Amino acid sequence: MSYLDTTHDVYKEAALTPDVGLCCTTNPIWELPGLSIPKIMQEMNYGCGSTVHARDLSNNPKMLYVGVGGGMELLQFAYFNRQKGGVVGVDVVDEMLEASRKNFIEAEATNDWFKSEFVDLKKGDALNLPVADNTIDVAAQNCLFNIFKADDLKRAIEEMYRVLKPHGRLVMSDPTCEQPMNDTLRNDERLRALCLSGSLPIGRIRKSIN
């Protein structure tokens, strides 16, 4: 059983039974006109910070979000691209994809502008994205990549760059650490799944994405 299997199991459980505060912190909820985020999405908010920045989202960009959680950031992205399949959400956990589908139905009831068809949910792996080359304007992940060990992180970043259009934008939100972490913490698979023990110094992250 690999650390990725542990991660899968953690988020399968979190999809079946929402776990408020599972990850290191919670995402900000943007106050946008006409946007209402269902409570269940907030409870399944398994990220840190946010990858949704209005200044990056003009002119109806095609967006990819990897690791869907309860769908909150997908809903926020869809606010800026109200077209069928304008946002693509990828996750490897079937139960998380199903939970998001249900949450989008609830979001339709409270957002008169939103339709579930705006978000194309796909079963897939961050290491082998089910997305064509050069088709995405904004590719984002929140509290996912710092779960990966070095070789897998390299592969995940290469996959993001593969699907991005020329001059596309990669948006990442992950915890960082500025002090050495001991091997006991580094090798704790559950803490890694919770986006903690895989944290890297910001300098190493910059080097990884350049």
Residue ranges covered by each domain of the chain = 3-209
> pLDDT (tens digit, 0 to 9) for every residue of the chain, 210 residues total?
699 999 999 899 989 988 876 766 555 677 789 999 999 998 898 888 889 988 889 999 999 999 999 999 999 999 999 999 999 999 999 999 999 999 999 999 999 999 999 999 999 999 999 999 999 999 999 989 989 998 999 999 999 999 999 999 999 988 888 887 888 888 889 888 888 877 777 777 777 776
Q: Is the pTM of this model over 0.85?
A: yes
The values of phi and psi at residue 119, to 5°, are -115, 125
Tokens 């199903």 label which residue?
98
Considering only the top CATH level, what class is 3-209?
alpha beta
Tokens 């060990």 label which residue?
149
